[in-house]
Structure 1
Amino acid sequence: MTIVYEQWQQQAKQLATLFGIEETHVVSTADSLVELVNTERAEQLVVLGPSTPLAEAVGFSEQCRVRRPTLGVVLLRQHLDVNVMTEAIRAGVREVVDANDPAAILAACARSQDLSRQLEAKPKLNGQTVPSARTPEDGPEPMGGQVITVFAAKGGVGKTTTAINLAVALADGGRHKVCLMDLDLAFGDVAILTQLSPERTIADAIPVADRIDETGLRSLLAPYRSGLDVLLAPVQPAAAEDIGRQLISDLIQLARDAFEYVVIDTASAFSEQMLAALDATHHYLLVTTPEIPSLKNTRVTLDMFDLLDYRKAARTLVLNRADSKVGLSSGDVEKIVRMPIVGSIPSSRDVPVAANAGVPLTVSSPSHPVSQAYKDLATRLFLNPNVADLQKRSRFGRGRG
């Protein structure tokens, strides 16, 4: 069922028709909304109609985010305003949608319900064999390579570009041993962005999944640059379904034993395979851009990370296209996602040019400002971290959550 809160009778009737009258609870007062939410504990979605005052919507969402994190809130507005969207997202509203666009409303509600189902079904740690960013207290760096997962809940923000260029920067011309793993199993782009031929991919591990060893892992890797080897995603998207959570965990563990750094490019979803990678991760690089949809998804990702008990001190926010003139400053971004920006990557037309050429900027133009930004990020966070940076990354709390 969907709970609809709308004071305007005609608007309420239209929304009930849109969602299906028999599948919708409609309330017209704040008290009725609270009572229904408290009574119907299994509900996953509340739609706040366009008549809802912004302050009321913000207050309700803030309470839900703390008390009912699996309950999604979608806010409808007659006119979309950046300031309204920013304030709503900061409060925990999952989507802000034009009330006059039925298709957009249904799509937003479907996305919210899908996230709610994932949150309710979040897996517990089971047989984890490597230390991860879930650990309750910060201790000494675990033995073996560091696992760095690059994640973004929205496509098109530069996640794969960041993973590739970071891996090149970490390899530092062969000074360090780095494994780049493309775990966007259905639609991985690492091969095409590096011009690597996918003669062997992770899909070739499926027949030996129960006995994969270091020799097996190395047989799957494609050499890219000195010190940098790549595990490519399957060529056929259907193969992703046959790659299990345990295989992902085993491959990451083997890579940790053989490399100093393991950089993982992920899909923009909380699938079982992605959760296996996230569970095995020491450092999370969350990539976003200064645009409301991207920032909204980043905020939702952080809430999901809280529910999964991934340490806040292990999260790093990377702002891609940081100098884009789109009306949002770095300060605005930090306020919206409630997390400091640690890495800023400038905008440049040379980035898509490099992508089309299949040669990362850190390879073709090491002195380019974008390349220098990735090198600085790699140095400050991983190659030569200093106390100030670690304190900045930990500013929002240490320990669980």
Structure 2
Amino acid sequence: MTVLWSTDPAAAETYHYAIGGQVHAADGAHAVWRALTTTPGEPLVVAGPEIDLLAVCELAERLRVELPEAGVLLLRRRLDISVLAQALRAGIREVVVADDLSALSVACGRSLEVSRRMVSSTAGPQSRQGTIVTVFAAKGGCGKTTIATNLSAYLASLGQRVLIVDLDLAFGDVAISLQLDPEHSAADLIAMSGHLDQAGIASVVTRHASGLEAICAPSSPADADRVPATTTSELLQVARRSYDYVIVDTPPAFTEHTLAAFDVSDIAIMLATPDIPAVKNLRLALNTLDLLGHPQESRVVVLNRADAKVGLHVPDVVKAIRAPVATSLPSSPAVPASVNRGVALVLDEPKHEFSTALRALAERHVVTRTPVPPLDAPAAIDQQPLPRRRDLRQRRRKVLR
């Protein structure tokens, strides 16, 4: 199927015979993307001469990462060296003069043949589509890195090939939490942007004793701004073809890198602790994801330190965030102690109550991906709430309204 991106009402009639086959008309980048991702067939985009060059280049760059078999052809009124150079850098396959219908027909045929070869080379038993899990907390101090590293280490202990990516590029703690001494970091991916492959990822990972592999944050916060969000998308898309699981540890904010991770994630672990600021921020984060069109069924809300005697319990949190809590994790001094020792508690003390709860989270919501019951259905919460302090609960309910 070919998508003709044009705002000219006569474009379909003008280019139909040159393009050939079934042509789907679209007047905007979002419509083009929706057509490519929802309609099966050989993906090809023909952008009309009136479409802004920057918009076409942005689409081509995204397709190169997320749908590399898709081809983009650009029509222009006249050929220009600067346009050709910019199109080439963005991944546009050919630039064709708009009134040369014969050249357009040949270019379409060449692009479709390239797409067929790319699809056939990646099909078959050797292809892999790993699961991407993004761990996010809208407030710092919720134990996000601890859960991400323990989850990654446990999955690696099952014999799975696991990569953890530290997307808290300025202040990431994955390396220190796992007692790693990385020679490379995410900053080394900048030079490979646009042509990152499995060998490139292998050149920057640091290996943990459990078999887990990590891409750590840069050692200097100044390097964080140098890593573009497009590199994050490219990294995760390439990594999922090499690993069974890719665990993404994020900063406590909706940065461009965090949003890029949410875009490609299969599972989003949304984390909070039973305190007013964390619950409030979680509710705002869930609302933001709703506005962005992020699928609710992919989210797993986790309440960490759920048994802390602070007056808020699981039912209070559920009512405040207006979403079900899939599982809860206990509070224990052994957890920060394990972080200080640079070990994953789930491996170091497998019988510990935190380790047991973490394994249940991994098995139920990551390995088997059991759906979380909707809010109006009875939900099985792993950690039962402690007796309530009704006076504290009433005060907190008034704050959360």
TM-score of the two chains, using structure 2 as the length reference: 0.62
Contact 1:291 1:326 in 2 (8 A): yes
Contact 1:316 1:393 in 2 (8 A): no
Per-residue deviation, 1:374: 0.8
Per-residue deviation, 1:391: 5.0
Aligned twin of 1:45: none
CA deviations on 1:372-401 (whole Å, 9 max, x unpaired) are 11111000112234xxx41516979xxxxx
Q: Which has the higher contact order (CA 8 A, sep 6+)?
A: 1
Q: Which amino acid aligns with 2:225?
A: E
1:380 has 2:364 as partner: yes
The whole-number CA distance in structure 2 between the counterparts of 1:184 and 1:124 is 26
Aligned twin of 1:144: 129
Within a 5 Å distance, the mapping from 1:307-386 to structure 2 comes to: 307-385=291-369
3-state SS of 2:203 partner: helix
The whole-number CA distance in structure 1 between the counterparts of 2:59 and 2:182 is 34
**CA distance 1:290–1:231, shift in 2 (3 Å):** same
Q: Which amino acid aligns with 2:185?
A: T
3-state SS of 1:170 partner: helix
Aligned twin of 2:215: 231
3-state SS of 1:211 partner: coil
Per-residue deviation, 1:168: 1.3
Matching residue within 269, 273, 277 for 1:285? 269
Within a 5 Å distance, the mapping from 1:110-189 to structure 2 comes to: 127=62, 129-130=65-66, 144-171=129-156, 173-189=157-173
The whole-number CA distance in structure 2 between the counterparts of 1:315 and 1:242 is 30
Aligned twin of 2:192: 208
Structure 2 unmatched runs, 5+: 1-57, 68-126, 378-401
The whole-number CA distance in structure 2 between the counterparts of 1:324 and 1:373 is 15
CA deviations on 1:293-350 (whole Å, 9 max, x unpaired) are 0000000101110111001111110000011111111100100011111121100011
The whole-number CA distance in structure 2 between the counterparts of 1:330 and 1:174 is 30
Contact 1:342 1:393 in 2 (8 A): no
The whole-number CA distance in structure 1 between the counterparts of 2:158 and 2:313 is 37
Within a 5 Å distance, the mapping from 1:95-114 to structure 2 comes to: none
CA deviations on 1:152-192 (whole Å, 9 max, x unpaired) are 11000111111011111222x25211111111000000011
The whole-number CA distance in structure 1 between the counterparts of 2:349 and 2:262 is 31
Aligned twin of 2:371: 390
Per-residue deviation, 1:367: 1.2
**CA distance 1:126–1:276, shift in 2 (3 Å):** farther
Matching residue within 246, 270, 278 for 1:294? 278
**CA distance 1:165–1:124, shift in 2 (3 Å):** farther
Contact 1:145 1:262 in 2 (8 A): yes
Matching residue within 181, 186, 204 for 1:197? 181
3-state SS of 1:316 partner: strand
CA deviations on 1:199-243 (whole Å, 9 max, x unpaired) are 111111112223221101011111114441111011001111110
The whole-number CA distance in structure 2 between the counterparts of 1:193 and 1:394 is 35
Per-residue deviation, 1:124: 11
**CA distance 1:231–1:175, shift in 2 (3 Å):** same
**CA distance 1:130–1:366, shift in 2 (3 Å):** farther
The whole-number CA distance in structure 2 between the counterparts of 1:166 and 1:125 is 35
**CA distance 1:239–1:211, shift in 2 (3 Å):** same
**CA distance 1:150–1:350, shift in 2 (3 Å):** same
3-state SS of 1:379 partner: helix
Aligned length: 260
Q: Which amino acid aligns with 2:192?
A: V
**CA distance 1:391–1:349, shift in 2 (3 Å):** closer
3-state SS of 1:390 partner: coil
Tell me the percent identity: 42
- The structure whose Rg is larger is 2
**CA distance 1:125–1:325, shift in 2 (3 Å):** farther
Q: Which amino acid aligns with 2:320?
A: I
Q: Which amino acid aligns with 1:267?
A: P
Q: Which amino acid aligns with 1:273?
A: H
Contact 2:270 2:300 in 1 (8 A): yes
The whole-number CA distance in structure 2 between the counterparts of 1:124 and 1:364 is 46
CA-based RMSD: 2.2
**CA distance 1:331–1:349, shift in 2 (3 Å):** same
**CA distance 1:279–1:376, shift in 2 (3 Å):** same
The whole-number CA distance in structure 2 between the counterparts of 1:143 and 1:332 is 41
